[in-house]
Amino acid sequence: MHRIDPLRISILVFLTLLGASMSIGKGGVQGAGVSGSLTPKTEEGLPHGEVGRFFSPYGENIKSFSDLVRWKATSEAKPWPLWVETDIIWHPKGNLGAHELVLHFVNHATVLVEYGLADGGRFRVLTDPVWSKRVSPSQWLGPARVRKPGIAFDDLPTIDAIVISHNHYDHLDTETIGRVVKRDNPAVFCGLGDGPLIRSLWPQKVEPRVSELDWWSSVQITKGSNTIRLTYTPAHHWSGRGLFDRFASLWGSYFIEFFAGAVAPASAGQALSVYFAGDTGYGDHFKETYQRMGAPSVALIPIGAYEPRWFMKASHINPSEAIQAHKDLGARYSMGIHYGTWQLTDEGIDEPLIDLDRARKANQIDAKVFFTLREGESWILPQK
């Protein structure tokens, strides 16, 4: 019999109410507000609702508040260390050839993607950037990081685009996004309904470069003679930053394609591509993405935040399901993300890596094919 801890319940309720007080309004979907050579294309008639009442067509994606209280009251979370030192010092990739791709792991779901342009420059995409200490409505309470980011913010190179999968605090960090937009003024992409919050982070008198996307919406960006196409693809998850904005904005993943020139049917097979899953439970969306978009060169797939399974299965895949997602996507390579930075759930800090290794062996998948990086490590996509 588990004893219900009144202090634990009080903290849970306090954090939830605090999140509600800071939540954004539903608002209307504004125009893309992205200048330059960005061409949005949206497909109509999608099966997930409208702003303010989105739902997942892939089954149950959230537990009830009473289930949340039950989990927190009976949790048997494995203890994490208060801090983990790292001996890795990140260095930017010196020589990146035209049409080459490199990934730099920062932490959790934050990955710096660099693509080599034909003119010798680079196009840089940052996924769900979080440099803050805590992923919470308050920097005084909530999960605190146990590792420093793999790239110090002052060392972060100029960013061309930021992709936001959804608005949970461990994925949409207003402090970090605000720092990047004030410094670099990148294009920022997010799901329908999250635009008002992100636009508010821009300096006054600077036009926000924000595109709100529906599932299967695509945006093309031209830099030099290269073209980058971002498509917002489905995920099995949910949204909300408080009690009163749950399901008010859309959640999703991204399929990012890098073309050596203009986008054309004949060039599709030569494009390099990155699939960023964001945060998701398991569902048919992985197979649907493969059917519509083809196999990604590399997929960034969550492997952490999955225990207890009775509660987390609805919205978070575990390492075994991550392996299945890799297979469903037909990915050439996959990289595990979303683990080891903040203790969000009950598994131990190293359990995702242990369970991933077990799942790889059970499916006869090499560790070089589905791999992980330490914070600050980099990986170059091998040439075919």
Please give the order of strands across the beta sheet that includes 272-276: 38-41, 218-223, 226-233, 253-259, 272-276, 298-302, 333-337, 370-371
Mean pLDDT over the full length of the chain: 87
Summarize the confidence of residues 220-225 as an average pLDDT.
94
pLDDT at position 28: 26
- Average pLDDT for residues 251-258, to the nearest whole number? 97
- Helices and strands (H, E) in the chain, number of each type: 8, 15
- Give mean pLDDT, residues 252-271: 83
Q: What is the pLDDT of residue 352?
A: 98
HEC profile of 202-235: CCCCCCCCEEEECCCCEEEEEECCEEEEEEEECC
Task: Express each pLDDT in 152-180 by its tens digit.
Answer: 999 999 999 999 999 999 999 999 999 99
Residue ranges covered by each domain of the chain = 31-41+98-380
From the list 160, 117, 93, 94, the residue with the least C-alpha distance to 258 is 117
Cα–Cα distance measured from residue 77 to residue 4, given in angstroms and rounded to the nearest whole number: 14
Helices (H), 316-350: 319-329
Phi first, then psi: give them for residue 165, nearest 5 degrees: -75, -40
User: Does the pLDDT at position 12 exceed 60?
Assistant: no
Question: Tell me: the pLDDT tens digits for 15-68?
Answer: 343 333 333 222 222 223 333 333 333 344 455 666 568 888 888 878 888 888
**pLDDT tens string 56-89:** 888 887 888 888 889 888 888 999 999 999 888 8
Is the predicted pLDDT of residue 331 greater than 80, yes or no?
Answer: yes
Mean pLDDT of 4-18: 39
The pair of structure tokens assigned to 89 is 């010092």
- Tell me which amino acid residue 225 is: S
**Whole-prediction pTM:** 0.89
Distance CA 177, CA 188 (A): 9
Report the range out of 9-18, 88-97, 264-273 with the highest average pLDDT.
88-97
Mean pLDDT across 4-14: 39
Q: Can you give the pLDDT at residue 242?
A: 87
Contact 241, 255 (CB under 8 A): no
| Predicted confidence (pLDDT) at residue 195 exceeds the cutoff of 90 | yes
pLDDT in tens, 119-165: 999 999 999 999 999 999 888 888 999 999 999 999 999 999 999 99
Residue 59: the pLDDT is: 85
- For residues 90-114, average pLDDT: 95
Quote the pLDDT of residue 5.
41
Domain 31-41+98-380 part of CATH 3.60.15.10: yes
Above 70 in pLDDT, residue 312?
yes
Host H or E run for residue 310: helix 309-312
Nearest to 168 by CA among 307, 32, 61, 285: 61
Confidence band for 283, pLDDT divided at 50, 70 and 90: very high
